[in-house]
Each structure stands twice: as C-alpha cells, then as structure tokens.
Chains A and B, each alone.
Chain A
Amino acid sequence: MTAVTPHQPEDLNHLSDDAFRQHIRQWIEANYPPELRNPPKRLHWSENQVWYFKLAEQGWLCPSWPREHGGMGLSAGKQIIMVEEYERHGVARTNDHGILMVGPLLIAHGTQDQRDFFLPKILAGEHIWCQGYSEPNAGSDLASLRTEAVADGDDWIINGSKIWTTLANDANWIFLLVRTDKTAKKQEGITFLLVPMDTPGITVRPIWTIDLHDEFCEVFFDNVRVPQKWTVGAVNQGWTMAKALLGHERIYLGSAKLSQYALDRLKTLADRMGVAEDPDFIDRYTRLKLEIADLKSLHATYVDVVRRGEELGPDVSMLKVIQTELFQKITDTMMEVAGENAALLEPMEGNRELNPSGLFLQARPSTIYGGSNEIQRNILAKNVLRLPG
C-alpha cells in the first residue's frame, strides 16, 4: 500500500474550546473532499485513503494518542469537539481500526518493539487494520469464541473463522481474539494476537449485506502460522483488554448526529412529497424532533463525564439504545412518507438527499452491532439496576 510521511502535530490543547473548534472547522472545510460528504455507504480504502493521507500529513490522524507516539495528545473535551465537527461536516469514517483500537491497545499493553514497529505504520497509512472478534457461533456471546491458536516453537498455528469483520477486504493486518486454553473458564482462555493478512492459509470472503454493500467479511484461518512475538499482553489475558476497548465506543454510537441527519432528510423528503404541512406529519415529525433534543441533553451529560476526566459507567449503554432505535424510527417514518418511492433501489431523482430506502436499510444493523440492543439492556439491568441473575 502507498503511504505518506506523517507530520508531528503542534499541540492544540492551549487553544480555547471555541478557537479550537473554529480551527478544526476551517481546516475540514478547506481540505475535506466534497464528493465524500455524507456518503450513503461506508467507504472502502480505495475511496477514503485520500482523506486518511490528508489527516496523516496534517498530523491529525490520531487525536487520542499521546504526543510522544505521534498523536495529537488532545484532552477528552477537545477530542469530542473534533468528532462533533467531523459529524457536522458529514465527514466519512476512514479505515480507522488501527487508529481507534490497535494504537491505544499497544500504547497501553504492547511491548516497546511492538510500539516501534506498528505505530509509525498506522500513522503513515501503511498498515490498515481490521478487527477479528465475532465468530459464526460467538456473536452476542463473544467470550464463547472458538478460533484456536496452538503454540508450535516460536509460532502460533491458528485455525478457525471470524465473521462480521468490517472492511477485512481492505486490511493488510488483523487483530484477533483466539482461544489458547480450552480448559479454562471461557473468558480466561482468550489471547490477543496481531496477524498479517497475507499469511498463507488466510482467506477473506466478503458478505453482501441487504443494502448490497461488502462492508463485512468472513475471514478463514487454515493452519495459519504466525510468530508469537506479535502476541499482545500475556497469553490468556486477551478478554480484559478487548472489553476495555469496547468501552468508549458507546458514547460515539450514542451521539444524536446520525438521527439528526436522518431527521433532516425526513424533512427534505416530506417537502418533496408535499406532506410537510399535514397535521399527521407535523405530529410525527415533532415527536421525533423532541426525542432527538432530549437525547442531545442526555448525551451532553456523558460528554461532561469525559470532559471531567471521569470513567464512563455501564449506564452509557442507554445512549446506544436510544440513538439507534430513534435512527430506525426516523427511517421507518421515511418509508411511509416516501410512498411508492420507498421501493426504489437508487436515491429518488438521482438526489442523494432523497434516499429513503437506502437510509432505512443502513439503520437496520445499528441495533445489532456494537453489542446488540438486547445485550445493552442486559447490561443496564444487571450492571446499572443490579437486578439479579
């Protein structure tokens, strides 16, 4: 893969929040490729690498990483401002698993050799990562995963398969949870491995989703031999690290921006369909608008927790449930408002802003991924309300 020379960023923490926001906003507006705004589907590396490289050259690729590792070392509050500005402009996600997951993991738990080898390659866009967690029989019950690694000299031999691996077809490295002790309690026999995708025995098969996109893949491992030096943390200690990585995901999945984007499109659609002034539509639209406003108020209380440097509790699961179900409810409404246009495969009239069926399908997996909403409700019941059993 082509790569760039990353730039060591200047420290922006001294700016006031408002000045920082303006700085970020102006740079995004000047540099973000207009054709990539609010893409209807998750972009592949071939499409988003131009933006990845721009961020790398600017030194803004890794806002959360410490400065000594090439990150921006931004305070939590400023990181959130940055995300807000990306969302405001409709900036697409890049292939960001290296930035969001592998980097922080290695900074916390990796060896010096691992940090020296991997971090610069993430910053340069040379290593593109994917995440090998779920398996055909280990979805919500992730800890029951069975892909196995057996020690052989200085190597591991891996056999098994992973599924729902986002953009595995773009990646040249994968981080894996594998079973290394079949006799231990299920959470205690799991190890965290880093594996090059070009190792013999690895096969990737894209999964076509219901919105006809190959965002997810299956990855098969057939006697895959990799060096043990790319084990992260201690053998059989992978579960704790993996769980910690999932923690902060929920505050992002719970941001109202996706719902707000959908609601704005609902309004566009209602205007186009000539129903925006119907009392029935106004009532439904107002209910959704109020839901978003209250979600924003609740989300802000969690942002404040992060801003104060406190740990997020398990109650952050609420945000994920509210946001994703609201997103779905809005797109459900779009299907009704669109009338026969709901049947169309492509956006109406070639207008990306009139894409009811596309948004409806995109909203479907949000209640499944990132811990299904049923799992989130289990977390709320058991870890927040402390209900028994």
Chain B
Amino acid sequence: MSAAASDDRAESVRLIRDSAAGLAPRTGDLRRIRALRFEDPGFDRAVWKQMCEMGWPGLRLPEEAGGSALGMAEYCAIAEEVGAALAPEPLVSATMAARALAGTPHATAILTGERLILPAWQERPNTLDTKGDTTTAGGKANGRKIFIPQAAGADAFLVSGKDGLALVERDAPGVTLTTERTQDGGNFGTLSLENAPCTPVPGDLTEALEEAALATAASLLGVMDRVFAMTVDYLKTRVQFGKPIGSFQALQHRAADLKIQVSLSRASVESVAAALDNGLTGPARLAAISRAKARASDSGMLVCRQAIQLHGGIGYTDEADPGLFLRKAMVLCNLYGSATLHRTRFATLAVDSDEG
C-alpha cells in the first residue's frame, strides 16, 4: 500500500473509532454495565438496536447486502472499543451470523436489529471445528450446541452441522435452550435440538469464525488497554509510605512490562488486520489470525491479573472496576480458540514468521 493510501486508511479507522464513543465509551463509569450484569438477557436490546443503526454488525458485509464493505482494520477498531467499554451487546457473534447469511433476508433482519440471530456452531470445548455431529437434513435439526454467547437474548440460531447451515427458531418445537451465567455477567447458551424444524441456508461459518477470532483479539486489546490506563492512574494517585506507589521502581518496571505487552498486542492485532485487508490468503492468513489471538489472550489475562495486583486490596472488591475487566478477559480469552489452541495451529501451519 502506498503511504497516502495507508494514511487514508488510518483516517477511516480513526473516524470509525470516534463514532463508537457514544455507544461504547472508553471513559466514564460502568454503571450501565453493572446494571445489566447477571440479569437476562445480559445486554440491552435497545442499545443493540442503536449499534445496528450505526451499521456495526454490517461493517464487513458488501454494500449490496446492506453492509458498508469495510475492512478488518475498521471492524477490529470497533471491536476494540466495544471491549474497552465492556459493552455486553453480542457484536462479534451477531456479525459472524450476518457475515455467513449475507445477501439473505435473514442478514437484513440482523443488520436492522429487528431479529437477533446468533451462531450455534460449537459442540466441544476448545475447538474451531464448526461441523460437529449435528444434522439438519430433511428440515429437521438434531444435535447439541454449546457456549453460545448471550444466547438468552437470541430470537433464532444459525446452526452449523454435517449438512451445512440451517436456521432454527428459538421457540420452535424440539428446541431446548438452557443458559449459564458467565463471569462478565452475560450468559452461554446450550442448545439441544430434537427433530427441531429448521430452514437450510447456503454457505458456511469458516471465514466468519476466523474474523470473529481476530475481532475477539481486538476486544481483548480494548480490555487490556483500558484497564492498564486505569492502573497507571492508580499508581500515580495511591499514596503509601508517604509517596505515590508509582514512584517505586519495582512497580514502575512492572508497569513498563505491561506497557510492552499492550503495545505488542496492538501491533499484532493491527498488523494482522492490515495484512488481511491487503489480501493475505491460505495458511498464512490462518497463521496470522492465530498469532494475534494467542498474543491477545495471553497478554489480556496477564494485564488484567496484574491490574488486580497493582490495585491491591481494592482490586479484589466487586466495587472496583478492574475486576470487571478481568472477568471480561476470562470470557474472551478462550472464546474462538485459546492461546494454546492458536499457538498449536500456528505451529501446524508451519509458515514463515513473516506471515503478516
């Protein structure tokens, strides 16, 4: 890319980031987030509708499918802001469904916020396999899907299986949805399908899942970036032994190391997004995504753990905010593949480390 084109791109990313400030603010209190925690559906449908009006779930869709045809750089910028805001609305999973359904009326329903369709792709822990054992042949779905983020608020599910993709209405006969609370105050759904009526749709989730993994890395970047900024502020204001604790070299060096982790995560996520936008394909593409997700998962957890430690006793309370960030990282770190899973995949792909 020429320098001018790359400057234009940076401007586009900056604009999209700024546009997130209203719905996913990086600063200010987290009252909205706290109020939604541990209540169904775990997020605010009205805020989700506004996010749809802003065009967020359609960023990656072609214009003829009602999207804005933007790149991964822009999508990651929004996902980062959503992470930094701890916004519980299911942007990444709804985008995944919309991406797979692009061009169908179902996608339009997602983009307008009229219907929330969430992907139900996973059958085992710790996998990126979207096929599994579920069957959808003959208009009847049978199988069991797990770990569906914010499933309590879904109207329908985009179910993957041996026979391809199919839509299953939440209220259809033969559909049982149970949910469990997650650490961030949201929920994971388990979907049991017994001869549930379903509508086959073309396409598959593979590409959308890869983008979800990278967007989740970007959300983790937002989480660690903001909690680190909060921690640096705390080091400057908390006084012990007659001076701000940030004047102690042991804590200064730890803060410097965390700064390095945040910077490496940002470089990793942003360079991979740029490489994808520049047309990186094949094994190198998968390896690049794995690199960013492995880094963001490991660094995200490290920075959040250290944020608790550096805040001392107050960091261990529910009243203080660092805990909200740690608990968000606990949800995101293994979603769409853990650090170990992605490192293993990177090794298996055996591409040159200049992949992206």
Residues of A that sit less than 8 Å from B by CB: 260, 263, 282-283, 285-287, 289-290, 292-298, 300-301, 307-308, 315, 318, 321-322, 374, 376-378, 380-382, 384-389
Q: A300-B271, A377-B252 are in contact. List 10 more A-B contacts (CB 8 A).
A: A286-B344, A292-B353, A293-B291, A294-B268, A298-B264, A377-B253, A384-B256, A384-B259, A385-B232, A388-B246
Q: Ordered nearest first, which 3 A-B pairs have the shortest CB separation?
A: A389-B247, A381-B252, A298-B267
What chain A residues lie within 8 Å of B346 (beta carbons)? 286, 289-290
Q: Are A322 and B235 in contact (CB under 8 A)?
A: no
B347 proximity list for chain A (CB < 8 A)? 282-283, 285-286
The one of A297, A374, A387 that contacts B236, using a Cβ cutoff of 8 Å? A387
Minimal beta-carbon separation of B203 from chain A (angstroms) = 31
A388 contact from B236, B256, B354, Cβ within 8 A:
B236
Contacts from B to A (Cβ < 8 Å): 3, 232, 235-236, 243-244, 246-247, 249, 251-253, 255-257, 259-260, 263-265, 267-268, 270-272, 291, 294-295, 343-344, 346-347, 353-356
Interface-central residue, A287, A290, A389, by most chain B CB under 10 Å = A290
Assuming the contacts A293-B355, A389-B244, asked whether A382 and B343 have C-beta atoms less than 8 A apart, the reply is no
Q: Which of A295, A374, A381 contacts B255 (CB 8 A)?
A: A381
Q: Can you name 17 A-B pairs with beta carbons within 8 Å?
A: A286-B344, A289-B346, A290-B353, A293-B268, A293-B355, A308-B3, A321-B256, A322-B260, A322-B264, A380-B256, A381-B253, A385-B256, A387-B244, A387-B246, A387-B247, A388-B243, A389-B243
A387 to B249, CA, bound (A): 10
Which residues does chain A contribute within 8 Å of B243, judged by CB atoms? Answer: 388-389
Asked if A318 and B253 make an inter-chain contact with CB atoms under 8 angstroms apart, the answer reads: no
Instruction: Give the complex CA separation of A300 and B272 in angstroms.
Output: 12
B271 touches A387 (CB 8 A): no
Q: Is the CB of B260 within 8 A of A374?
A: no
Q: A282-B347, A294-B295, A322-B260 are in contact. Are A289 and B271 (CB under 8 A)?
A: no
In the complex with contacts A290-B291, A318-B260, A296-B354 CB distance below 8 A? yes
Chain B residues near A294 (CB-CB < 8 A): 264-265, 267-268, 291, 295
Do residues A378 and B252 form an inter-chain contact, with CB atoms below 8 A? Answer: yes
When distances are taken between beta carbons in the complex, the residues of chain B under 8 Å from A374 are: 253
In whole angstroms, what is the CA distance A296 to B272 when docked? 12
Which B residues are in CB contact (< 8 Å) with A321? Answer: 256, 260
A87 to chain B, nearest CB (A): 13
Residue of B nearest to A302 (CB): B267
Question: Which residues of A sit under 8 angstroms from B272, Cβ to Cβ?
Answer: 297
Residues in B whose Cβ lies below 8 Å from that of A386 = 232, 236
Q: How far is the CA of A295 from the CA of B3 in the complex (A)?
A: 22
Q: Which residue of B lies closest to A288 (CB)?
A: B353
With the chains together, A296 CA to B267 CA distance in Å?
9
**By DSSP majority rule, is chain B's interface helix, strand, loop, or mixed?**
helix
Q: Is the CB of B252 within 8 A of A295?
A: no
The minimal Cβ–Cβ distance linking B231 to chain A, given in whole angstroms, is 10
The answer to whether A290 touches B343 (Cβ under 8 A) is yes
Question: Chain B's nearest CB lies how many Å from the CB of A9?
Answer: 25
Given A289-B353, A290-B291: A283 and B259 within 8 A (CB)?
A: no
Chain B nearest CB: distance from A218 CB in Å?
30
B residues near A287, Cβ cutoff 8 Å: 343
A295's contact among B235, B249, B264, by CB below 8 Å, is which?
Answer: B264
User: Closest CB of chain A to B269's CB: distance in Å?
Assistant: 9
Do B264 and A381 touch (CB < 8 A)? no
Given known pairs A287-B343, A289-B353, A296-B354, the reply for A301 and B267 (CB within 8 Å) is yes
Decide if A283 touches B343 in the complex (CB within 8 Å). Answer: yes
Minimum CB–CB distance for B167 against chain A, Å: 38
Q: Is the CB of A385 within 8 A of B267?
A: no
Q: Which residues of A contact B249 (CB under 8 A)?
A: 378, 381
Q: Which of A285, A296, A378, A388 lies at the interface centre, i.e. has the most chain B CB atoms within 10 A of its CB?
A: A388
Task: Choose among B259, B268, B343 the residue that contacts A297 (Cβ–Cβ < 8 A).
Answer: B268
> CB distance B259 to A318 under 8 Å?
yes
Question: Nearest chain A CB to B50's CB is how many angstroms away?
Answer: 33
Closest CB in chain B relative to A179 CB, distance in Å: 27
What B residues does A380 contact at CB under 8 A?
255-256, 259-260
Whether A286 and B252, one on each chain, are in contact in the complex, defined by CB atoms closer than 8 angstroms, is no
CA distance A387 to B255 in the complex (A): 9
The CA-CA distance from A298 to B256 in the complex, in Å, is 16
Q: In the complex, A296→B232 CA distance in Å?
A: 26
Kindly report which residue of chain B lies nearest to residue A287, judged by CB atoms.
Answer: B343
Q: A389: which B residues are within 8 A, CB to CB?
A: 243-244, 246-247
Bound-complex Cα distance A20 to B287 (A): 30
Nearest neighbor of A307 in chain B, beta-carbon distance:
B3
Question: How many Å lie between the Cα of A290 and that of B345 in the bound state?
Answer: 12
A68–chain B nearest beta-carbon distance, Å = 27
From A300, which residue of chain B is reached at the shortest CB distance? B271
A308 cross-chain contacts in B, Cβ below 8 A: 3
Q: How far is the CB of B44 from chain A (nearest CB, A)?
A: 34
Give CA–CA (A308, B7) in the complex, Å. Answer: 10
Q: Which residue of A lies closest to B7 (CB)?
A: A308
Residues from chain B with Cβ under 8 Å of A322 in the complex: 260, 264
What residues of chain A lie closer than 8 Å to B268, measured between beta carbons? 293-294, 297
The interface centre, meaning the residue of B246, B256, B259, B344 with most chain A CB atoms within 10 A of its CB, is B256
Smallest beta-carbon distance B136→chain A, Å:
37
Q: Which B residues are CB-close (under 8 A) to A286?
A: 343-344, 346-347
A298 to B295, CA, bound (A): 13
A341 to chain B, nearest CB (A): 25
Contacts of A260 in B (CB 8 A): 353
- Cα A34 to Cα B265 in complex, Å, equals 39
Q: In the assembled complex, how far is the CB of residue A261 from the closest CB belonging to chain B, in whole angstroms?
A: 13
Are A377 and B257 interface neighbours, CB within 8 A?
Answer: yes
Q: Which residues in A have their C-beta under 8 angstroms from that of B259?
A: 318, 380, 384-385
Bound complex: CA A322 to CA B252 (Å): 17
Q: Which residues of A contact B253 (CB under 8 A)?
A: 374, 377-378, 381
Given contacts A387-B246, A387-B252, are A293 and B353 in contact (CB under 8 A)? yes
Chain B residues with Cβ below 8 Å from A292 are 353
Complexed CA–CA distance, A282 and B348 (Å):
9
Which residues does chain A contribute within 8 Å of B356, judged by CB atoms?
293, 297
Closest residue of chain A to B265 (Cβ to Cβ) is: A294
Residue contact B267 to A290, C-beta cutoff 8 Å: no
